[in-house]
Structure 1
Amino acid sequence: MPCMNHSRLLSSEPPGRRPCTPSWLNPDSPCHVHVHVYNVTETLRGATSEEARRDQDVAAIATLKARLGAETSHQSPSSSPNSESKAESKAESKAESKAKARVAPIESRRSRPIAPASSPGQAAARIQNPESRIQTAAESSLTSSSLKNCPTVMFNSNVGSTDQPLVLRSPSVPRSPSSIMASSPPMAVSGNVHAILGLLAHNPLHAALLTIAVVLITSALLLGAPASQHKPGSDGRAGPPSMPGYWLPFLAHGPQFLLNKDGFLAGLQKRYPEGIFSLKMLGSNHHVIHEPTLSSTLTNRPRTSYEERWIAARLLSTSFGLRKQDQATYGRLAHETPDLYKHMLSEPGLSNLVDVVVGQLKRHIHEFVTFNSSPADQTDWERLADVDVVRNSRGETYVEADLMSLTRNFVAATANPALLGTNFVDNFPDFWELLWMFDEGMVLMAANMPAWIPWPRLQRAKAAQRSMLACTLEFEIAMDKYLRGDDPGIKWQDLDNVSTYVKTRIELFRNRGLPLEARASCDIALLWAMNANANPLISWLIFELYRDPVLLEMVREEIAPFLKIVQPKNDFGPAVWVAPEVESLDLDGLINRCPHLKAAYLETLRVYTGVWTVKWLTEDVTLKRRGSNSESYLLKKGHMAHMAHELHQFDAEYFPNPKEWHHDRFLKETKDENGRKLQTVDMGTLRPFGGGPSMCKGRALAMRELLLYASFVISFYDIIPPRGQNWEEPVTCKRAASRHSTKPVRVWIKKRDFTSKSAAGQGASG
């Protein structure tokens, strides 16, 4: 209930015997009434006119002043001559001064015109005015617990006359929150918040995205990790490598590595020039090494320090389709498979493989392009390269084709018979296009991405894998019959020319009880390893040789003594074309006595490959840098060590202008025993096939393939950009083994003329 002072004020009865200061003017009283100032355009919406509202405001002020005078008139020096009366009189005078001070600003602004009705944003902007600040203070004080039992004095800030009674609102008639909001402009910040809340209320998608963003940012701040720098231990021992910070828990650096591997790693290489840094992905620790001395230190350690075979077993299951029920059987025989590579790395197995490749190349090099305009008359590799017959302004005939597709499929069709025989290549001419589709998404499959993710590259790769498994399973069934002495079928009558390596491997699988389906998966792994790297590199080597006419003529001149081509006599006249023939081939001469060709081969490997060697550490390993900065790094047991040869190949400290193709960076000038100058080739720190026991097992065959195919193509054909254009800088993307062009590389191709004297001996230019 209201106190006695309030009752007196509400009734017209005079105050009691003891005069007192009205408690509604006393700020120390628990029933103190706060004066609330509201904008007239917001609170008095029912007023008939601005003049009526102004009159009410003026009357309210006049009544207030009159009652203040009435209250103070009860206080006089004669009525209370004692000291207590004097103290009370002093307090009442002080209260009167405070009341007048509250009224004075209102009177001083009574001539201010009434503002028109405003929007919430405009009302918020008027907070800066004194009246609005009073209103905001009044609104906030309205919710104070001290006002629960107190009446509220209401009057307008735009005052006019002084002849209207004071308007009081009893606490028994509370104001609704909506009326308060309507009559009181919000704070400036509240206006922005209200606008944002209004936007989110009408846009659920925006609200959901904002919620997700808040959750992610909060998780990152709470569960992420800051960057750490390499520091030696307190006792001077080796410390862990530096690690960049990350925001996402568990995933850590995984999204950056998967979605932007090249840019992410290039930035880290510059950030950590010491040659090693660490990453955390999917809860595992990975140490990336790109400095050659550190890589050599790890490679030269005893094999008990790390395990490498696990990566092959993982790829077989995640990428090549090895079933779970067959993994244990394969694991029991995996240690025997490295012994089979002697058929590819040493004699006589290596020479047997190369002889088959050379025979296929001699037989089909004149069909690299056939100049047939009808797809029905074209070869399989021509159809895949979108070949077309065109003429230039002088009437010369060319074949326009995609050089990358044409070359890699030509190599696949002519080199793989050395491994799987001619029946496999003839029966499955579309297998190689499936292989490139599979290669495009192999990294995603190796990451064990769920099959339900609608990622086009991933889905195409899985579909290609299933089709390839059907092909290799049919091949394994035929080989199983062949090795038992049974008839393999009409499609498989030439299985005798399957390589010794493949036959020996299938025998091992049969003897150890590996099912046919598992053998089919192993065949896909073999074919991918032999084609996914070498075939695109042959395309790039040919591309780079033709881009530099001076280098092209130098290479043609130096290979001429070792690859001799002759034009057979044509007894049928010019109407019949007779293909040139290879008179002699010295492969050792191409490998050891053609420095420009060999240097171009190495530079192509540097620019267009990206080999990584991965090891799982089975014990703690300490790596120490050589030289002045001989810091030591501790790699703990159970962590993964990645020797990123790809990063080293683009390190400007070792290879100036690393993004430019310059073959002469590998050329060294020396002198022979007679003092004559010689050019030799020095690989330096380049390790394009990896290092240690895990070094690429097909490296010897791959090198011979690159040198052979490049020598044959540049000897038999001239290649230029279409329509007299300039050679463009290729835009590439990294796949699992090598780099590929992001768009077709269209070229014009024509046969070289070997009938002229200048072309005799193969050395003619086109």
Structure 2
Amino acid sequence: MPDLLLSSGVRTAPVFLGLILVVLVLLSRLLSPQIYAQEPPVIHPRLPFIGHAVGMARRGPHYFKQLSSRMNSGIATLPMLNGRMYVVSSPELASQVQRASKTLDFVQLIVDVAPRMICLSKEGSIILSTAESKQKPGERMVNTVVNHVIHPFLTPTAIADIVSSQLQDLTSFLNNRPATQEKENLYRLLMNEFIKVTMVTFYGPENPFAMHPELVDDFLVWERDLPMLMIGVVPQWTARKQYLALQRIRVGFEEYITAGRFEQAYDLVRLRHQAHVDAGFSLQDRALMEIPMCLAFGINAAATSFWMVNNIFSRPELLEEIRSELLRTLEGSHTISYTKIRASCPLLYSTLRETLRLVATLSTTRVTIDDTIIGKEYLLKKGNIVQIIGSAIHADKEIWGADVDTFNPRRFYYSQNGTKTADDGSVPGRKEDQIHAAAFRSFGGGASLCPGRDFAAIELLTVTAALVLSFDITPAEGYKWDPPFDDKRFLIAVTKPKEDIFVNFKRRTDTEGVNWVLKY
């Protein structure tokens, strides 16, 4: 009898699966939206109705890279459940999406996604979606905070004071390192230090992470699996670990606020918080709304610095060339100037851009608040998501050259937009080989162009310069450079290493006793 049941089960399983497939096909036909002829070409999922959603959940950004090979027009419509998503893999069309900011809205995306990201209360979500600016009647509060509070403080001319403070703290970190240190977890070392320094710079010495160092671990737990929270379905159970970590950070910021410590904060942070007070957000919601700012300030720079160190120190010839560049920029024997690095170290700057191309393959997302025509022929219907898929654009051989999947430190040597490489991997200096500006997606583009990109470049170039000049860094026994990317997660920040790498630091003899000064 057991054999008979087993045999019966084996025979009926295909029938059962076939019935499921039939049901999905019928649901797809009944519930799928009407696709208009003028919309971008449709890519139907292999599994009807839910196929694209399943593919995104399983493969993350790799799913979009896979689809891009079927996007002959550089844009496509993906039917998903009873709606659709438009995906863009063409730099030319990406620039048009960015320019259509009146009907392809970034603010609406913040309003829709941010509350789930930080588990904002229902009341806070309503305020975020309805509040108007006092400064410009009729303008959304989110626009006001971004355009009138954040952007003015992060322009190249306005960041001198805050950069000086940041660089002073980073200098202390570099100068106080022992001459020899073995088996150090490189990623965690840089992450901890960048978070520590950045929080002091923006929130003052009594920030929540300084008062409660254990919150750094909670912050990394929350950030690592943000998409689980952003699904927004009973997060206290479906994303319990991230939810509890988030709540502990919230308590730390509530303590910070009630103790009046915002008076220590940088003007950008203090004025942003005051805008939230004026809008009527509760204490709990105001505390929660500080957490994404910490993500913007600290995580990306720390992760990028890890990959910069990896990419340079794993290539001895590149390391020596960059050292030679940097030695020519020193003021005296111990002052490292960002201004001089930017002007006189094209190889180091190109290395930064190429590192970002590989590890910061972020997507730019918009919500269509009205029907919009892109490329003079493609209709984007109101009420849908548009994604410029950075992972596909950054991996396109037609844009970057045959070596697109490998690190090429000279790819941005002649142009900050990049140059298409020759078949042998060399980088021609000809203007006609320069790449479209919208192909580099690491800082977003258009209305969502990262306002802190200049600040991040200053941090990364000066710290990398000091490490290159000060230390020989080698993998500890049993470890090697170039750990694999943890790149099957949807990226909120820079790609993390999938495996830890422990390294040995040894101070170079010609810099022993040198106390570096990092300056803007």
Q: After TM superposition, list the pairs within 5 Å mapping 1:156-305 onto structure 2.
A: 198-199=5-6, 213-224=17-28, 238-249=38-49, 251-301=50-100, 303-305=101-103
The residue aligned with 1:477 is: 258
The residue aligned with 1:703 is: 457
Check the 8 A contact 1:565/1:761 in 2, yes or no: no
Q: Distance in 1 between matches of 2:80 and 2:39?
A: 20
Q: What is the deviation of 1:269?
A: 0.9
Match of 2:406 among 650, 660, 676: 660
1:354 aligned onto 2:108: no
1:751 aligned onto 2:507: yes
Check the 8 A contact 1:277/1:288 in 2, yes or no: yes
Q: What is the deviation of 1:215?
A: 3.7
Q: Distance in 1 between matches of 2:178 and 2:233?
A: 43
Match of 2:275 among 508, 513, 516: 508
Q: Distance in 1 between matches of 2:109 and 2:414?
A: 37
Deviations 1:651-676 (A, max 9, x none): 1111222221111111229xxxxxxx
Q: After TM superposition, list the pairs within 5 Å mapping 1:126-141 onto structure 2.
A: none
The residue aligned with 1:622 is: 373
Give the TM-score normalised by the residue count of structure 1: 0.58
Deviations 1:324-383 (A, max 9, x none): 11222233032321211134322654112211111101122134x447xxxxxxxxxxxx
Q: After TM superposition, list the pairs within 5 Å mapping 1:435-446 onto structure 2.
A: 435-446=219-230
Match of 1:727 among 452, 456, 481: 481
The residue aligned with 2:145 is: 337
1:430 aligned onto 2:214: yes
Check the 8 A contact 1:689/1:699 in 2, yes or no: yes
Q: Aligned partner of 1:415: which letter? A: T
Q: Aligned partner of 2:449: which letter? A: M
Q: Distance in 2 between matches of 1:653 and 1:683?
A: 10
Check the 8 A contact 1:419/1:502 in 2, yes or no: yes
Q: Distance in 2 between matches of 1:761 and 1:683?
A: 40
Deviations 1:429-466 (A, max 9, x none): 22222222111110121122443766xxx332112111
Deviations 1:12-31 (A, max 9, x none): xxxxxxxxxxxxxxxxxxxx
Match of 2:379 among 634, 637, 642: 634
Q: 1:347 to 1:267 in 2, by over 3 A?
A: closer
Match of 1:411 among 169, 194, 205: 194
- Structure whose CA Rg is larger: 1
What is the SS of the residue equivalent to 1:274? coil
Check the 8 A contact 1:344/1:697 in 2, yes or no: no
Q: Aligned partner of 1:300: which letter? A: R
Deviations 1:614-633 (A, max 9, x none): 111122222228xxxxxx32
Q: Distance in 2 between matches of 1:647 and 1:195?
A: 51
What is the SS of the residue equivalent to 2:252? helix
Q: What is the deviation of 1:210?
A: 6.3
What is the SS of the residue equivalent to 2:492? coil
The residue aligned with 1:738 is: 494
Q: Distance in 2 between matches of 1:643 and 1:366?
A: 42
Q: What is the deviation of 1:410?
A: 1.4
RMSD across aligned C-alpha pairs, in angstroms? 3.2
Check the 8 A contact 1:343/1:350 in 2, yes or no: no
Check the 8 A contact 2:444/2:450 in 1, yes or no: yes
What is the SS of the residue equivalent to 2:450? coil
The residue aligned with 1:597 is: 348
Q: After TM superposition, list the pairs within 5 Å mapping 1:335-414 onto structure 2.
A: 335-338=143-146, 339-346=148-155, 349-367=158-176, 369-370=177-178, 398-414=181-197
Question: Greater relative contact order (Cα 8 A, min sep 6): structure 1 or 2?
Answer: 2
Check the 8 A contact 2:39/2:77 in 1, yes or no: no
Deviations 1:139-186 (A, max 9, x none): xxxxxxxxxxxxxxxxxxxxxxxxxxxxxxxxxxxxxxxxxxxxxxxx
Q: 1:693 to 1:404 in 2, by over 3 A?
A: same
Structure 1, 331-340 or 286-295: larger mean CA deviation = 331-340
Q: 1:423 to 1:453 in 2, by over 3 A?
A: closer
The residue aligned with 2:294 is: 527
Check the 8 A contact 1:667/1:679 in 2, yes or no: no
Count of aligned pairs between the two proteins: 483
Q: Distance in 2 between matches of 1:724 and 1:564?
A: 39
Q: Aligned partner of 1:667: which letter? A: Y
Deviations 1:527-551 (A, max 9, x none): 1122232210111111101011111
Q: Distance in 2 between matches of 1:755 and 1:224?
A: 67
Q: 1:512 to 1:222 in 2, by over 3 A?
A: closer
Q: 1:313 to 1:335 in 2, by over 3 A?
A: same
Check the 8 A contact 2:329/2:341 in 1, yes or no: yes
Match of 1:420 among 187, 203, 223: 203
Give identity over the alignment, percent.
20
Check the 8 A contact 2:483/2:499 in 1, yes or no: no
Check the 8 A contact 1:299/1:692 in 2, yes or no: yes
The residue aligned with 1:586 is: 337
Q: Aligned partner of 1:558: which letter? A: E
What is the SS of the residue equivalent to 1:663? coil
Q: Aligned partner of 2:244: which letter? A: A
Q: 1:429 to 1:212 in 2, by over 3 A?
A: farther
Check the 8 A contact 1:667/1:682 in 2, yes or no: no
Check the 8 A contact 1:269/1:647 in 2, yes or no: yes
The residue aligned with 1:130 is: none
The residue aligned with 2:118 is: 320
Check the 8 A contact 1:400/1:746 in 2, yes or no: yes
Structure 1 gaps of 5+ residues are 1-193, 372-396, 480-491, 567-582, 626-631, 670-677
The residue aligned with 2:135 is: none
Q: What is the deviation of 1:242?
A: 2.4
1:644 aligned onto 2:419: no
Q: Distance in 2 between matches of 1:590 and 1:346?
A: 19
Give the TM-score normalised by the residue count of structure 2: 0.84
Check the 8 A contact 2:331/2:337 in 1, yes or no: no
Q: Distance in 2 between matches of 1:634 and 1:585?
A: 51
Q: Distance in 1 between matches of 2:290 and 2:105?
A: 23
Q: What is the deviation of 1:732?
A: 3.0
Q: Aligned partner of 2:352: which letter? A: Y
Check the 8 A contact 2:484/2:497 in 1, yes or no: yes
The residue aligned with 2:418 is: none
Check the 8 A contact 1:402/1:744 in 2, yes or no: yes
The residue aligned with 1:151 is: none
Check the 8 A contact 1:340/1:501 in 2, yes or no: yes
